[in-house]
Amino acid sequence: MARFEPLPTVRFAEGELRIIDQTLLPGRYEILSLTTVDAVCDAIRLLRVRGAPALGIAGAYGLLVAISEGGGGNLRDRVDDAARRIAATRPTAVNLGWALGRMLIASRTGDVSDLGAVLEREAHAILAEDLAMSEAMTSHGATLIADGDAVLTHCNTGGLCSGGGGTALGAVFAAAADGRSVRVFADETRPLLQGARLTAWECAQRDVPVTVLVEGAAASLLSSGNVASVFVGADRIAANGDVANKVGTLGLAILARRAGVPFYVVAPSSTIDSAIPDGAHIPIEHRGDDEVIRFGGIATAPSGVDAYNPAFDVTPADLVDAIVTERGVHRFPYQFTGKR
């Protein structure tokens, strides 16, 4: 299968964590250099870097920033403190805690004088593994896309959500790179418009035809018969296959089942949390009211009203036709156990 070039979403060089600032897209493409742990935490919290796999990589490299930043006290204590601070930024995406856990285990090996080199090797390994997993899972996902298909997506699941290769949208790009004609319908993804801003931008960069729609139009689109499948990513997958993903995913899954349209989840095995039995046990992040009641600094609702703003919802496993990982295409019923 032909491949496509990954984006430099999260990289580390010269003591700096370098990310594509996703809050500036599509208007401006800018690499942001992060040189303090505070800056890393802010970038994650403010969604300058986002997407479960990308958060794991950013968290891992954030511990190298803690070493480069310097400061007093025991070096391992500084790394531990940085890990706690970074882990607290976003609770739902399991990859963040998973990658930080790997880094902390690595930090306990060898002499403290080698800590920087040990952690750098581990962080680079996490990035390399993510790129390899992206290549495998997008290849598997592409087998579910036929020539001429139109695919509906939600949020952003391309290179921007990962080390650069992508998950669900990456499967579309893999199909296109293999010569298949494919079209993307991208949910706008309110309130922060990751579909309109990021998915549409990635499609344009790769010359994949894309049409943006508001989530309220998804029901009519799915019932029209003009969509072959729905492809989404995941921020955490429970042992039974329940999927936490960007809020609005659950509604799409219900609509897709009603319309008889296959609903697929594409995510690396690092997103599967076998310690969580089902979706009811997945912590759901709630974000600030201003994301909903203001847009571009302008009020879109009366002063003093509250907003309901969960960042994620949980789709039951029985609404998911397949979960695609780097290990292949998994079909319902799911039972993910053991180590990731």
Catalytic residue at 235? Answer: yes
Residue 84 DSSP SS3: helix
Spatial distance between the Cα atoms of 182 and 148, rounded to a whole number of angstroms: 5
pLDDT attached to residue 165: 96
Query: How many residues does this entry show for the chain?
Result: 340
Q: How far is residue 198 CA from its own chain's centroid?
A: 12
| CA atoms within a 13 Å half-sphere pointing along the CA-CB vector of 191 | 17
**Gap between the Cα atoms of 286 and 161, Å rounded:** 20
Which tokens sit at 100? 């930080």
The secondary structure of residue 98, as a DSSP letter, is H
The pTM score is 0.95
Query: Which residues in the chain show pLDDT less than 50?
Result: none
Active-site option among 130, 235, 273, 313: 235
Give the number of other Cβ atoms within 10 Å of residue 13's Cβ: 9
Q: Token pair for residue 326?
A: 């780097």
Provide the pLDDT for residue 111: 79
Q: How far apart are CA 166 and CA 224, in angstroms?
A: 28
Q: What's the pLDDT at 73?
A: 78
* CA within 13 Å, CB half, 268: 33
What pLDDT, on the 0 to 100 scale, is given for residue 211? 98
The pLDDT tens digits for 28-70 are 999 999 999 999 999 999 999 999 999 999 999 999 999 998 8
Helical (H) or strand (E) element with 183: strand 183-187
Output the pLDDT for position 332. 94
Of the candidates 159, 186, 182, the residue with the CA atom closest to the CA atom of residue 228: 182
Q: Which domains does the chain have, with CATH numbers?
A: 10-134 (1.20.120.420), 140-331 (3.40.50.10470)
N-terminal to C-terminal alpha carbon distance within the chain: 26
Residue 339 is predicted with a pLDDT of 52
Cβ pair 165, 201 in contact under 8 A:
no
- The CA-atom distances, in angstroms, between 207 and each of 93, 175, 181, 195, 204 are 30, 13, 11, 16, 5
Instruction: Name which of 47, 51, 50 is nearest 233 in CA terms.
Output: 51
pLDDT at 296: 85
